[in-house]
Amino acid sequence: MSIGHALLGLLESGPRHGYDLKRAFDSAFGQGRSLHYGQVYATMSRLLKNGLVEVEGIEPGEGPERKRYAITDAGITDVARWLEQPEKPEPYLQSTLYTKVVLALLTGRPAAGLLDTQRAEHLRLMRELTRRKQDGDLADQLICDHALFHLEADLRWLELTAARLDELAGAVRGGEGG
């Protein structure tokens, strides 16, 4: 996710302080991973330097002065351009899990056990996401569905790999499978 673009998009509804941006981000996107204040201020500093936001005002606070950020026309254009660009599909051709399976086979370790352990972890996470989805609002349901669909694809790959483990072992030990 582009944190900068998300913060710019949040600013389109009106100027905000860094603290308000963090709360709005966490509310809209932070399920399971909230934004750190340091990320907000570092990102806002970069956006300011690039002319995508401006400081609309500075107010005294209990601690440091609070800057109120507003999006510029260039920032609005940048968000619009970003939203129009399709995301590059992630082909997962450099899968850590595949690497672990191949290394297990090359080193004589039990790759089937690795696949079983990974399958159990995927199923555990799927149960957790399903519970979260049942209790969540629409946004939470959609993000959980996205994760669940990816986990289902991973499970299919785990099953396929387990079924072809002997063939893969022969290929990698013969120098063909890397």
Question: What pLDDT digit, counting tens, does each position of 106-161 carry?
Answer: 888 889 999 999 999 999 999 999 999 999 889 889 999 999 999 999 999 999 99
The yes-or-no verdict on residue 177 having pLDDT over 50 is no
- What pLDDT does residue 163 have? 96
| 159 contacts: CB under 8 Å, gap ≥ 6 | 119
Q: Among 39, 35, 33, which Cα is nearest to 147's?
A: 33
Q: What share of the chain is helix, strand, coil (3-state, %, to 5)?
A: 65, 10, 25
The yes-or-no verdict on residue 175 having pLDDT over 80 is no
Bridge pairing between strands 66-71 and 53-59:
antiparallel
Cα-Cα-Cα-Cα dihedral sign, residues 155, 160, 165, 168: negative
- What pLDDT does residue 89 have? 77
Asked if 16 and 69 count as a contact pair (C-beta separation under 8 A), the reply is yes
- Of all helices (H) and strands (E), which one includes residue 59? strand 53-59
| 102 contacts: CB under 8 Å, gap ≥ 6 | 168, 172, 177, 178
Q: Which amino acid is at 71?
A: I
Alpha-carbon distance of 47 to 39, in angstroms, equals 12
The yes-or-no verdict on residue 178 having pLDDT over 50 is no
Question: What pLDDT digit, counting tens, does each position of 6-65 carry?
Answer: 999 999 999 999 999 999 998 888 776 789 999 999 999 999 999 999 999 888 767 677
Alpha-carbon distance of 167 to 161, in angstroms, equals 9
- What pLDDT does residue 176 have? 46
Q: Among 8, 98, 47, 173, which Cα is nearest to 21's?
A: 8
Question: What pLDDT digit, counting tens, does each position of 63-100 carry?
Answer: 677 899 999 999 999 999 999 988 887 777 668 889 89
Asked if 64 and 28 count as a contact pair (C-beta separation under 8 A), the reply is no
Alpha-carbon distance of 143 to 130, in angstroms, equals 11
- What pLDDT does residue 76 have? 96
- What pLDDT does residue 94 have? 64
